[in-house]
Amino acid sequence: LANKYNGLEKNVWVEFIDLNAKLNPLNLGQGFPDFMPAESVIKELAKSCEKEASPLLHQYTRSMGHPRLVKALAKLYSRLIGREINGMTEVLISGGAYGSLFCAVMSNVGPGDEVIIIEPFYDCYDPLVKLAGGTPRYISLRSSDPQDESSASWKLDPAELRSLFNTKTKAIILNTPNNPLGKVFTREELTQIADLCKEFDVMVISDEVYEWLVYEGQEHVRIASFEGMWDRTITIGSAGKTFSLTGWKLGWAYGPAHLINNLQVAQQNCVYTCQTPGQEALAAALELEIKKLGSRDSFFYKMVTDLKGRRDMMTRACKDAGMIPIVPEGGYFMIANWRPLESKTNLSDEKDDCADYRFVKWLAKTWKLLGIPPSAFYSKEHKSQAEDYIRFCFYKKTDTLLKADEILKQWK
Ligand code: PMP
Ligand code: GLN
C-alpha cells in the first residue's frame, strides 16, 4: 500500500456492509431505500435503451457531463440560486457525489493547505483532505441544550469557528442537511460561515446531497446564493439522493467556471467520463421535475412528505424502546442515544475501541438489527463525542420500520 493510504484501511461502509452480509439483520445501516425509486427516471432509462433511441446513448459522452444533463441541472439551479448558470462551463457530472468530492478536494487542496471540517462529517472528507496533502482542522457541532431533542440545537461555537480561520485556510467543507445528524444549517449560521470565508479568502465545498429532504418548518439554504459567495463555492449534489437511486452512482458539482475547471482536470485524468444512459434518463426526469417545482405534484415534495411520516415512526420506536433520539430536520438518518439501555446489553465480547462500535455490533448479532456507529463521522481526537449514539436510516418500507419497532420492543 502506498504511504499516502497508510491509516486509511478501515472504512465504516466496507465493515458494516460485510457484517450485514454475514448476519442478515434488519438493515437500517447504509443509507438507501428498500423500495423502488422514482418511476419517472426508471421509465426514462428504459427509453434510452429502446431500439429507436440513438445508438450513441450507449457510448462515451462528454467528459464534463452529458450535454442534456448539464443543461437540465443548469436550468434547475439557475432558478434555485437566482443567477444564470452555464451548463457547459459551470457544471460537472461525476461518479456519485463521491466523485465530485474527490475532484473538488484533489484539484484545489495541496500541501500546506488547511481545510476546516465540521463534526460530525461524512466520513470521506477527512481522508480526502489528507490524501491531497492538506491538513484537516476540526470543529464540532454540539448540543446547546441537552433537553432539546432536535438536531437544531446542535450548533457551532462562533468564537471557536473564527479561531480556525487563518492565512493557510484553503477551504471549509459544509454538509447541509448533515449526515448523520440531520441538522439543517440556518441562514444565520451560513451567513457567519460565508462572512469568514470572504474575510479570509476561503472556498466552500458545500455537500448538499440531501437538499430535497428538509422537513416542514425548515428551509434548505444554498450558501452559493449569498452575495459574494458564488465565485468561491462548489456545491455538490447526488442523483442517488435526489431520485432515490443510490446504485446509479451519478452526482454533480456546480460553481464558477474557474473552480469547476479545476474539478474537470481531476476528472479527465481519472474516470474521464460517467455512464451515458443514466445521464440521459436523469436529464429527461429533471426536465419534467423542473416544470413541477414548488407544486404538490413535484416528486421532491412527495418524497419529503412521505419521509416525514417515516421519521416520526422511527422517533417513536426509539423513544418507546427507551433511547433518546435526536430528531433530524433533514435527511434520512437519525442518531439516538442508547446509553439508557446499557444495562440490558453485554458488550464484553466486542473488541472495538469505541463503545458505539461495540454496541452496534452487539445489537446486530443479538437482536438482528443493524445501525451505523457515528464515531466513524468524527476525527480520531473527537470520537468519544459520538460513543453514546447509534445512527439509523429510516428511508425504509413501513413494514421494515414496524419490524425494527418490534425488535426494539422485545429487547426492552
Ligand atoms: N455526501 C453525503 C453527505 C452522503 O451521505 C453521501 C452518501 N450518499 C455522499 C456524499 C455520496 O453520495 P453518492 O452515493 O452520490 O456518491
Ligand atoms: N451515504 C451512505 C450513508 O451515509 C453510504 C454510502 C456508502 O456506502 N459509502 O449511509
- How confident is the model over 95-125, as pLDDT tens digits? 999 999 999 999 999 999 999 999 999 999 9
Strand partners, 143: 154
Q: Say how many Å lie between the CA of residue 225 and the centre of ligand 2.
A: 27
pLDDT at 59 over 90: yes
Residue where one domain finishes, among candidates 260, 292, 324 = 292
The reply to whether 153 and 175 lie within a common domain is yes
pLDDT at 412 over 90: no
Output the average pLDDT for the chain.
Answer: 97
The reply to whether 232 and 313 lie within a common domain is no
State the pLDDT confidence band at 410, using cuts at 50, 70 and 90. Answer: very high
The reply to whether 239 and 308 lie within a common domain is no
Residue where one domain finishes, among candidates 245, 261, 292 = 292
pLDDT of residue 51: 83
Q: List ligand 2's pocket residues with C-beta within 6 A.
A: 13, 30-31, 179
Q: Say how many Å lie between the CA of residue 17 and the centre of ligand 2.
A: 10
The reply to whether 152 and 169 lie within a common domain is yes
Counting from 1 in the atom list of ligand 1, the atom nearest the Cα of 251 is 15
CATH number, position 334: 3.90.1150.10
Hunting for cell 468524527 — which residue is that? 378
Q: pLDDT per residue over 151-166, tens digit each?
A: 999 999 999 999 999 9
Q: What is the mean pLDDT of residues 139-151?
A: 92
State the pLDDT confidence band at 48, using cuts at 50, 70 and 90. Answer: confident
The reply to whether 110 and 245 lie within a common domain is yes
The reply to whether 264 and 209 lie within a common domain is yes
User: What ipTM was estimated for this complex?
Assistant: 0.98
Counting from 1 in the atom list of ligand 2, the atom nearest the Cα of 31 is 10
CATH number, position 52: 3.40.640.10
Counting from 1 in the atom list of ligand 1, the atom nearest the Cα of 246 is 14
Q: pLDDT per residue over 284-343, tens digit each?
A: 999 999 999 999 999 999 999 999 999 999 999 999 999 999 999 999 999 999 999 999
Q: Say how many Å lie between the CA of residue 241 and the centre of ligand 1.
A: 8
Ligand 1 pocket test: pick from 30, 175, 209 the residue with the most ligand atoms within 8 Å of its Cβ: 209
Residue where one domain finishes, among candidates 253, 273, 292 = 292
Q: pLDDT per residue over 357-376, tens digit each?
A: 999 999 999 999 999 999 99
- With a pLDDT cut of 70, the percent of the chain lying above it is 100
The pTM of the full predicted model, rounded to 2 decimals, is 0.98
The reply to whether 101 and 220 lie within a common domain is yes
**Looking at ligand 2, which residue's alpha carbon is closest to its atom 2?**
31
The reply to whether 280 and 303 lie within a common domain is no
The reply to whether 284 and 304 lie within a common domain is no
Domain of residue 199, residue span: 40-292
The reply to whether 157 and 267 lie within a common domain is yes
Does residue 253 have its Cβ closer than 6 Å to ligand 1?
no
Q: Say how many Å lie between the CA of residue 207 and the centre of ligand 1.
A: 8
- With a pLDDT cut of 90, the percent of the chain lying above it is 94
The reply to whether 187 and 208 lie within a common domain is yes
Question: What's the structural domain count of the chain?
Answer: 2
**Looking at ligand 1, which residue's alpha carbon is closest to its atom 16?**
96
Q: pLDDT per residue over 181-201, tens digit each?
A: 999 999 999 999 999 999 999
The reply to whether 111 and 17 lie within a common domain is no
pLDDT of residue 40: 86
More confident residue, 364 or 38: 364
pLDDT of residue 38: 83
